[in-house]
Structure 1
């Protein structure tokens, strides 16, 4: 017999994203009780820089947790605790009081591209680091960011007493304890996934020691709130805070993709495909990453840099659908763009988009890539460009899929992210991957995944597998045979364009740096 909902225990899952944070209160059955969200700016003071203020982010977290806690009191709900999810690959040097010396570099910050280029001149070193950490050598990882700081801002580097990330900074401010979870540590490029500790050799390569690094704890580790944090967030004193994991791996939990052979697919600002594994998995071609989720579960996958951000670029720069004109007519610009793309046949009449506007992570790990439209002719219109962008992003995910297929049979793909609002886009992904796609009834992903770690920490759930029966299909998309031959042919051209233009990509990147 179901528990009386009025007395049901809830956890607040806090999902700290690239430009905003959501706090969502969940019951054990996955019911969204109430929520709040807030936003903060992404700072780009120089080309290739992408920073955020950790102080602004923490203020936003206080705000959304406070509002959610207030709503729970009105609803007479019992709050058991708060659990955290954060974006990956952040870095800021901290002083001896663990206060930031700088704005925090995000995953999108690629100022260390030159560092990575030099590292890749030593393939043996790159492979050794990758096989130990599960992290390909790339500018997104804190390893490269620390080296950049050491070489370009030596005085600031000397002042740095601790290596900070968004997760340990938030947890320290909430609990007074400076630790980092295994998931966030495993996305740094410096955590040895076999010894389950910071790698001394890699730390030395970066110019730091273990004294700089926070102790590593399980993703279900908890510690009580400080009195100060409790007062600021309108929470009970001593309420447990579960450190949680990173958003990318928690999406699998949140949408119920927790069985062998199940994948999660996401397109939001960026995009990713991920699958669960029982142990750390690396790819002989170094195309994928592998990060920790729980003590006995890992997530192998690949994230692409450029997802919905490219469609937003088309909205603003090509279609000019920004501003208030459409809002005044109650028209969603993305709905209008989807409608225009629906009038174009699969393959966009031979127009191919390489969506590498901000370089690329998986499977190429090349920050020097740039975007392009290939195959333009006079019959092409903005509608063709919209569809080509949707298809190009799916081609990028298909490149990741080819690597993940080598880890095991793909039995089910569940999707989340803003792209799930577009039936056309999900159908294109199904056609390009040649796989059925399940749209689950819970698309919150990381916030619910964090709450699940809270329920596991409190003993209400035994493992992440308990979410399998909580998430149900809303709709299943199947590949359309008439589009398969089109996408196979164009995907082959898409891949060859990448391989044949390596010199040109590098040259245009160097030219753009001089502008």
Structure 2
């Protein structure tokens, strides 16, 4: 059977997976270095390619020599002005915050969202080009991680429809770069990557085959973006269209047959293939909030997470009326604001450390619950991510969302790539853990949620 090499390039690491007949033969993870400050966030293209090369060379020869197809998942919203420095500005780069806020007030804003399916936010390459174009030559190429990697492997700066549809520059209905958006930015189509279908196969460069010990007949499949592939992997294995991942950040996603857009709510809607789109809403604040809490309230991070079940058992729902707004990292959905801030609300002398920890977890999940309501109301959810490795958090999520949650370890972009290529016949994966709703707890959280974010909602509505 053919051997498949999937490579997932995220914002913190490169993951490698060698798969044959639905089984992982080899897997590894290699960290990536990010530079910058609270506003600027970038990686160095040369370093990324070096780490990628080291990761591939670390694969045992016996597997590399059998690889028939290689494909790539890459993080969304990256932008690399293709000069000597090859700085890759990441989704978390907020240099475009002022520029995109001004653009939201223009007549073009609604139509550009409807064309691209990409929320109007500083994360998008559209916003970054809008803000940075005067700093670079007028004819510079605007690429991203996908184009960088595919050019390295094939000699052509290719970008798949899926990754392109998260740039804010792509027409998801016509499957082409949007003439209207490019005209507004005063850039040409030739300055962007060459568009291909996610399953498009291209020959690898001979020197790449020689360097890595691949067959000369090895093919490169363009692949897609990480979030879309994670949603597809879950859907393919479980049959459930709705999924939630809470890693460092969080996202609720829905696999759909057609594009679903709402300018007021600014859900994302990205192309996957000719059959499916993936729509959803992301939050900046997921596991990073728990990591912050572990640093502030735990002597040791491992002890902090191990003690969470006891802390939740010792405290009451609502944390004695203490609220926590989890917007320590700005926020995308539902606010799409970089200026928003978080913290404790209604903190008094009666509150103890354990109440504060409970309120942090509740605030995080109550915020995610609004995304669930937006994207997948009244649906069962496949859940995944490091957050849910603590089972009690899965139970709490089900009670707050009012949805049965199935812990699914299959939500990995590399599996999404494999399923796109091979379309294997698989039995629907049975969840390793199922978290069902405690109706009494859900009713309490419903009452709490009505006014939990009331003040901040009103404040932002006035702006």
TM-score, length-normalised on structure 1?
0.84
1:222/1:243 contact within 8 Å kept:
yes
2:89 pairs with one of 71, 81, 105: 105
1:18 match = 11
2:155/2:205 contact within 8 Å kept:
yes
**1: CA distance, partners of 2:137 / 2:82:** 11
**1: CA distance, partners of 2:267 / 2:239:** 18
2:451 match = 493
Change in Cα spacing, 1:453 to 1:106, as seen in structure 2 (3 Å) is: same
Change in Cα spacing, 1:68 to 1:352, as seen in structure 2 (3 Å) is: farther
**2: CA distance, partners of 1:54 / 1:391:** 39
Per the alignment, in what secondary structure is the counterpart of residue 137 of structure 2? helix
Deviations 1:15-71 (A, max 9, x none): 111111110122333x22211110012212x33111111222222222222223436
Tell me which moved more, 289-298 or 409-418. Answer: 409-418
Per the alignment, in what secondary structure is the counterpart of residue 68 of structure 1? coil
Map 1:3-402 to 2 at 5 A. Answer: 8-29=1-22, 31-44=23-36, 46-70=37-61, 72=63, 78-95=66-83, 101-122=85-106, 124-151=107-134, 153=135, 157-158=136-137, 161-256=140-235, 262-321=241-300, 331=302, 333-402=304-373
**1: CA distance, partners of 2:62 / 2:444:** 51
Change in Cα spacing, 1:191 to 1:377, as seen in structure 2 (3 Å) is: same
1:413 aligns with 2:381: yes
How far 1:203 sits from its partner (Å)? 1.3
1:126/1:136 contact within 8 Å kept:
no
Change in Cα spacing, 1:205 to 1:320, as seen in structure 2 (3 Å) is: farther
Per the alignment, in what secondary structure is the counterpart of residue 276 of structure 1? strand
**2: CA distance, partners of 1:381 / 1:243:** 52
How far 1:213 sits from its partner (Å)? 1.1
**2: CA distance, partners of 1:450 / 1:384:** 43
Change in Cα spacing, 1:382 to 1:18, as seen in structure 2 (3 Å) is: farther
How far 1:298 sits from its partner (Å)? 0.5
Flag structure 1 segments of 5+ consecutive residues without an equivalent. Answer: 1-7, 323-330, 507-515
1:3 match = none
Tell me which moved more, 306-315 or 348-357. Answer: 348-357
Change in Cα spacing, 1:503 to 1:364, as seen in structure 2 (3 Å) is: closer
**1: CA distance, partners of 2:17 / 2:304:** 27
Change in Cα spacing, 1:349 to 1:196, as seen in structure 2 (3 Å) is: same
Residues paired across the two proteins, number: 463
